[in-house]
Amino acid sequence: MKIAFYAPLKAPDHPDPSGDRTVGRLLLAALKRGGITPVLASRFRARLSGDSEAEQKKFAAKGHGLADKLIAKYRKLPKGERPRAWFTYHLYYKAVDWIGPRVAAALDIPYIVAEASHAPKRAGGPFAFSHAAAEAAIRQARAIFCLNPADKECLHGIVAAKKLVDLPPFLDIDAFLGHHLRGPDRALGRLRLSQHYRLDPDMPWLLAVAMMRKGDKLASYKALAEALRHVTRAYQLLVVGEGPARPEVEAAFAPIAKRVAWLGQKPASELPEIYASADLFVWPAINEAFGMALLEAQACGTPVIAGASGGVPAMIADGETGWLSAPGDTAAFAADVDFALERELAPVRLVTAAHARKFHDIAAAAATLKKTIEKMTGEKVIA
């Protein structure tokens, strides 16, 4: 079955890496795993740069024009070669889907959305025009896959509960682990990293993996630096990431600079060994929707200390695969780190890896997507 796929915030083949691009690619892979053929319908990026109504209307006009061209294109195809559904990833008032609802209505095919956010407080402000369009698109959707359970509260006010389908954040664990199919060699990883970065292999290692940019990422780095100042147990912190906010990040960690090793940006192939080498993954997750690094760490068996923002609690079994604290509560975060470092973590590592495999692997996501799309289209997917 062929379906049209579109991500108004960032196309899955965009050259700049980000969590949003990662999730878009994972959705494409999961759809394919489920026997569905997604075709990228457009690369039009509808992310607003500000609250200008002129920009909002400009995006609407361009999106509608692209939609009309796609409608004409699809109508020229034999019916069996047309998309059987339209699938949009990440829809909200700052990245409205101006294309999909128009195409789906014209072709009389289901309009399906993954990760839709509704913000009622934007109804009367400078984003009112885009807010209304986002709400209309959400209302039109036949099914909405919810990767972040926190989105449900506002969505319940405008769509029927039966349209909301839980799709826990997921990872293609085998692809991510690469040649480490049975899990990375933790001892070998610690040996390599200790030699290269002059780390003490007998001391607990904490790990943070995130881009260094202003906004929520920088806020999380600052919260992490503040929390780690109050950790009483011995530790070393490994930081993987780069970005324009690195000077501010380094400044935040200045009081504990001797405990920090800056690893820089690393290719995906090196990350599993780094995750597995750490004793704990630590990230305050300020305003984080869910955070793919939290999943990657757990897939490698590394327990997570995190702030319970957005969809993070749906990814971490508190007290089993990690420990959660209130968002921004640096004292509680530090206490969780101390508590975890006092424990024997080997059994927790086994539970963590098993949990990720059972609940957050691409196989489960593919099954959910396949079942729902079959229901929406009334057609069986032939893999």
Over residues 18-37, the pLDDT tens digits come to 888 999 999 999 999 999 99
CA atoms within 13 A on the CB side of 212: 20
pLDDT digits (tens, 9 = 90+) for 215-252: 999 999 999 999 999 999 999 999 999 999 999 999 99
**Rounded (5°) CA angle 60-65-69:** 145
Cα(298)–Cα(11) distance, integer angstroms: 27
| Mean pLDDT in residue range 186-204 | 95
**Quick one: average pLDDT of 167-188?**
88
CA distance linking residue 113 with residue 92, whole number of Å: 11
* Alpha-carbon span 184 to 67, nearest angstrom: 46
φ, ψ for residue 141 (rounded to 5)? -60, 135
Instruction: Answer whether residue 213 shows pLDDT above 90.
Output: yes
What residues contact residue 286 under an 8 Å CB cut-off, 6+ apart?
A: 216, 219, 220, 223, 307, 309, 327, 328
Tokens of 146: 């919810």
pLDDT given for residue 195 in this prediction:
95
Region of 115 please: left (phi>0), alpha (psi -120 to 50) or beta: left
| pTM of the shown model | 0.87
For the chain, the domains span 2-170+361-377, 177-359
Q: Which helix (H) or strand (E) holds 348?
A: helix 346-359
Say if residue 338's pLDDT is above 90: yes
Which fold would CATH assign to domain 177-359? Rossmann fold (3.40.50)
List helix spans (H) across the chain: 19-33, 53-76, 100-107, 128-140, 152-155, 173-177, 186-197, 216-228, 246-252, 271-277, 292-299, 330-341, 346-359, 362-377
pLDDT over 90, % of the chain: 89
Q: Are strands 37-40 and 2-6 parallel, antiparallel or unpaired?
A: parallel
Q: Do domains 2-170+361-377 and 177-359 have the same CATH topology?
A: yes
Task: Render 95-161 in DSSP notation, one character per residue.
Answer: B--SSHHHHHHHHT--EEEEEE---GGGTTSTTHHHHHHHHHHHHH-SEEEESSGGGHHHHTTTS-G
Residue 49 in this model has a pLDDT that exceeds 70: yes
Q: Which two tokens stand for residue 224?
A: 């992490």
Q: Which residue, 183, 192, 148, is CA-closest to 311?
A: 148
Name the DSSP class of 284: -
**Residue 383's pLDDT band (boundaries 50, 70, 90)?**
low
Percent of the chain with pLDDT over 70: 99
DSSP 9: S
- Identify which of 57, 16, 29, 24 has the alpha carbon closest to the alpha carbon of residue 42: 24
Looking at the domain that runs over 2-170+361-377, which CATH code has it been given? 3.40.50.2000
Q: What's the pLDDT band for 179 if we cut at 50, 70, 90?
A: confident
